[in-house]
Each structure stands twice: as structure tokens, then as C-alpha cells.
Structure 1
Amino acid sequence: MTGSFSARLGAVTAERGRLCVGLDPHEQLVADWGLAYDASGIERMARETVAALADQVAVFKPQSAFFEVFGPAGVAALQRVLADIAQTGALSILDVKRGDIGSTMGAYARAHLSEGAPMAADAITVSPYLGFEALRPAIDLAHESGRGLFVLCRTSNPEGAAVQLATSAGRTIAQQVLDAAQAENTATGLDDVGLVIGATHEDAGVDLTGFTGWVLAPGIGAQGGTVEGLAAIFGDAVGRVLPSTSRGVLRAGPDASALREAAAATVLR
């Protein structure tokens, strides 16, 4: 990869805007497209969406689980979707939420962050709840390969609050995750360690002052988050926020023009 992930993301969002379109082929959405709910159907849905939005959207976020459910055929479909995204000039964030320790975390990292790996993406989502430092194999490989990480911090689901807003040593767990991510960004100067903070909250629940990484903000649309509400949630950090929507765009398909209009409307509302 040429240049850091953060720099490449900054360049493509400056050109196309900051919208991230999630590729989450829910069974009902696939049916609404008139497709069979199988590996072929979800592949067609995802790849036609990428083709329709190829020059319009900065980031696509495939949700790995919707492909993995179909076994090897689904994983092969996901590989082709990732290859398509790479051809568009957009960046891919593979939503896998990996989190483990030692050699296992290293294997996950190599699967998704190594140059030439079949399942490689520009960035992946990771879980810090085995300890932030347990992510070290992924952090180091991301830096080496010019890729990025988005660490779960304050997620969009209401159940997350019980853990993420719990307090230890005077700080919430979410704030400790943010502080650890920023310490990494400060140490390297790369700003390639981002956060996942849902767009569904009244406020971010963390102090983003001085955070220099990017923030992936899922929950726009079906989960109740709005583009208009981003400034209230993220304040001065809003310029580094990637609002993410899936159903809000995908349900406009399969017509390519309708998909483009839905993506544009999500940004402009």
C-alpha cells in the first residue's frame, strides 16, 4: 500500500464525501431485490451495489457474517466483493470485529491485513475487550502494511452501555479505549487506529478532544441515527467521522440510479 491508511482515507473522502455504505445483505433485503437468498444472491446484491456507487462513495463496509453464513461459497463471494471495491478507488472496511490474544490475534491480522491475503481489506473492525494491548499484532501489521483498524469504543447497540460506560479508575471503559487508541496514534504519527462510535446516541459518551484518528459511526437510517445529528454527537471531531448506513441505501436497489440517489440523499439530508 502507498501511504498510510489515514492519508488515503483523507484523500478519498475529500473527493467523494465521508459516507460509508455497509454491505449487509439481510435476507429480507435480498428478497426485496428479487434474488435468491444464497451465496450467489448476496454476491450479486453486494457487487451490483459497489458497481452502482463506484465513483460516488468513499468507503464500503462489508459485514463478513452475512457472507460467512453460506460457508466457502459465501467467503469466496466476499473475496470478489473486496476485489471489486479495490478496483473502484474506494476503500474497504471489513466488519469482522476480531479480538483475541497472541498467535491467534496474529493469525486474524494476517488474514485481513497482510498484502496479498485473499481476505485483505483496507481496514477491519476489532474488539478491545481482551485488553487493548492484545490487539498489538493487528496494530503492528496495520502500520506495516498501510492499513487501518477501527476499535469498538461506544457501539450503536443499547446493550453496549453496560460494559462500555462502566467506570474503572475514574474513567469509563470507552474512554480508556479511546485514550489507548490515541496513545498509539501519537506514538506513530500515522493516525491509523480509529474508533467505532455509534450515531445512535445523544452524545458520544467519550471526550474526543484531541483524538486524531477516524471515527466509524454506524447506525444511520434504520437504527435511528441521522446525518443531521452527527454534529451534536461528535462536536469538533465531526470532520473525521464516517457516517455508515446499510439498509438506508440497499433498500433502494436493485436499480442503479435509485441506489445512487439514496446514497446522495443520505449525505445531503
Structure 2
Amino acid sequence: MSAGARPFGERLAGAIDATGRLCVGIDPHPGLLTSWGLSDDATGLREFSLRVVEALAGSVAALKPQAAFYERHGSAGIAVLEETIAAARSAGVLTIVDAKRGDIGSTMQGYADAFLREGSPLAGDAVTLSPYLGFGSLAPAIDTALAVGRGVFVLCLTSNPEGASVQLARSDTDEGRSVAATIARAAAALNAEELAAGGDPGASRSLGSVGLVVGATIGEAARAAGVDLVGVRGPLLMPGVGAQGGSAQSVRAVVGEAWQQVLASSSREVLGAGPSADDLRSAAARAAASLA
């Protein structure tokens, strides 16, 4: 299916309805490659990635290849990332390329062309973005994504300890809102506009295509920061489920009434069950069931 056929938020909502709200990260770091009996090079990277796609397509809502683990192998690794995205597309599973790009002007447009433009081999169904040069700096990527039915996930509230010093800081100019709340309000405005243009401005299960990245273990941080997650009306990509300590209970504690927007991401807990395809599927099924 062409990415431009339907908006990303609509396609993601359909995938969640069909398979549950689990996203599995494809994080081929050296330790995992070794534990799978694979070499830490482009050959091992390719074998790892394609095994994950083949095993999990059809049983999870999305796959999330982490671009850094491909980039560390240079051009050969980037070629494997392209092949992984293509394999996922052929298998009918959504991909979120975890690249966390953020820049300004023509440089941001360059990233948009790489990860979102129709026809680019690096374009999955969505990409992660960093808004810390100002949310407005992301406009080239967001505009490109929405024009072709793709999506973005903007970093909002992450679980790393260093993130709070930026994300929870209060603005002197934006009515004293936290940085995270300002990011969430900007995403909400874009989703409201997209959903209204699609003729569905009020349906409670509608998802816009501008999502947020919100850590699965941040506890009360969203409420403390004044972030209205329900009002975003976009998907909430929540990494950290499984080996990093996140659970369905911790996710619910973070999101409250925004549960229907959750796309929970697990990487190490599922990938550590490999390399057997059956074991990968079983681990993913357990993780998905815990979120049901």
C-alpha cells in the first residue's frame, strides 16, 4: 500500500485494532548480534533485521528500526536499513524509523526528504523528531509527512534523567507553560487541523498523524508538566516497556485517560528471545497480551 493512500494516524489506529498496541524496536546493538550468533557487521545486521521483520510482521502494530545501529556500519548499514524498511512494507507492517532528527530550514527539509519523501528508500511510515530547536523548526518534516500520508513522533517527555531539565523547564514567554506542554499543544493543534480537514473533527477514536514520544516509566511527569495527553489526539509512542522496567501498569499511570492513544514499544525483552522466529513471536505475544 502506498503511504499516501490514507493518513498515518488512521492506518496506525487500524493496525492497533488488528494486532494490539505493541511496537517492537529493531535495535541490533553489538551484544544482541553476538547473542544471536551473528557478526557485528552489515552481514549480521541484515540477517538480524530481516529475521525480525519476517517473524513479527502481522503480529505487532509496528516495527521501529533504530537508525543509529545501522549508521554505525556506514553506507553498508544504511543500505540494510533501506532493505529492512522495504521488507516491512512488503510484509504489510508499519515502520517508525527512530532517527530523532531535528534542525532548521533547508537542513530540516533535507532530513524530511530522506525519511519522509515519497520514493525515498529511507522513508518508513513515520519518523521520530527532536523539537529542541523550537517546534516550528520541524515544519518542513511535518508538512512533508502529512502531504504523503506519513507521520511523525516528536520527543516530549522522555525517561532519561537528563531530559527533565529541558522538558519540564517553564517558559517566561509562553504563559509559564513547561516546554513539554508547549510541544504537546503544538502537536494537538496540528492534529485538530488534520482531523477536521478529513471530515472527522470530533470522533473519540480518531488519531492524528503527529504523535509524541512519552517514556513508559515517567510516572506523574506529564501531569506535573501540565501536558494534556488526551488533548493531543495523536498517538503516544511509549518506549521502555519490558526490560527497561515499563509495564501496562506504569503506562496507565503515565497516560490516564489517553490509553487509547498508546503505542507501547518493547525492544530488548522481545529481541532477547531470538533468534528463533517462534520464540520471537511468543515473546511479542506475551508483551502484547500484557497490554491488552
TM-score with structure 1 length normalisation?
A: 0.97
Helix, strand or coil: the match of 1:233? Answer: helix
Helix, strand or coil: the match of 2:120? Answer: coil
Distance 2:288 2:103 in 1: 35
Partner residue in 2 for 1:227: 248
Distance 1:215 1:59 in 2: 13
Aligned pair partner of 2:215 in 170, 174, 198: 198
- Give the C-alpha shift of residue 204 in structure 1: 4.6
**Which runs of structure 2 are paired with 1:44-63 in the superposition (5 Å)?**
44-63=47-66
- Give the C-alpha shift of residue 201 in structure 1: 1.2
**Which runs of structure 2 are paired with 1:89-238 in the superposition (5 Å)?**
89-168=92-171, 169-189=175-195, 191-205=208-222, 206-238=227-259
Distance 1:207 1:129 in 2: 19
Gapped regions of structure 2 (runs ≥ 5) = 199-207
- Asked if structure 1 preserves the Cα contact closer than 8 Å seen for 2:86 and 2:121, the reply is no
- Asked if structure 1 preserves the Cα contact closer than 8 Å seen for 2:33 and 2:39, the reply is yes
Partner residue in 1 for 2:272: 251
Distance 1:156 1:30 in 2: 25
- Give the C-alpha shift of residue 13 in structure 1: 1.2
- Give the C-alpha shift of residue 248 in structure 1: 0.7
Distance 1:267 1:126 in 2: 26
- Asked if structure 2 preserves the Cα contact closer than 8 Å seen for 1:227 and 1:266, the reply is no
- Asked if structure 2 preserves the Cα contact closer than 8 Å seen for 1:99 and 1:127, the reply is yes
Distance 2:89 2:34 in 1: 27
- Asked if structure 2 preserves the Cα contact closer than 8 Å seen for 1:63 and 1:95, the reply is yes
Distance 1:100 1:7 in 2: 28
TM-score with structure 2 length normalisation?
A: 0.90
Q: Percent identity?
A: 52
- Give the C-alpha shift of residue 55 in structure 1: 1.6
Distance 1:83 1:156 in 2: 31
- Asked if structure 1 preserves the Cα contact closer than 8 Å seen for 2:36 and 2:274, the reply is yes
Gapped regions of structure 1 (runs ≥ 5) = none
Superposition misfits of 4+ residues, deviation over 4 angstroms: none
| Residues 79-138 of structure 1: per-residue CA shift (max 9 Å, x gap) | 000011111211000000110000000110011111111111100000111111111111
Helix, strand or coil: the match of 1:74? Answer: helix
